[in-house]
Amino acid sequence: MKDLTNSNIDRQSPELFSEIRELIVESRNSVAQAVNSALTLLYWKIDERINKEILRGEKADYGKQIVVSLSQQLTMEYGRGWSQRQLWHCLRFAESFPDIQIVHTLSSQLSWSH
């Protein structure tokens, strides 16, 4: 049986490794972009639900209590990542971009680094 060490593979078919490596990188990038897009839309929808349905556009003490309570419940259910601060970021995000169509279009094109 042939010895298939890394150096043998590199000498025999460097293109194969390079092409497969590129496929893996492209797939990872595609998955990351899909996750980023889904999270962006999720955050926007969270604001929509909190602000439009519960707070009715007012950030009164009642709204703060809702965010505190919701944050505690979400953190217990889903773990880290649902702090009060994160929920307020969701609220500000949707206030800055009130049109879901724009958010949807941009979320499929931008990475988190943008």
The distance in angstroms from the start CA to the end CA of the chain is 50
Report the alpha-carbon distance of residue 58 to residue 45 in Å, rounded: 17
Give me the residue spans of the domains in the chain.
6-107
Q: Please write the tens of the pLDDT for every residue from 68-108.
A: 899 999 999 999 989 999 998 888 888 888 888 888 787 76
Burial zone of 47 (CB within 10 Å; 0-12 exposed, 13-18 middle, 19+ buried): buried
Residue 66 pLDDT class (50, 70, 90 cuts): confident
Closest CA to 52 of 90, 84, 86, 102: 90
Tokens matching residue 30: 């595609």
Which segments of the chain are extended strands (E)? none
pTM higher than the cut 0.85 = no
Q: Please write the tens of the pLDDT for every residue from 1-24.
A: 555 555 565 567 888 889 999 999
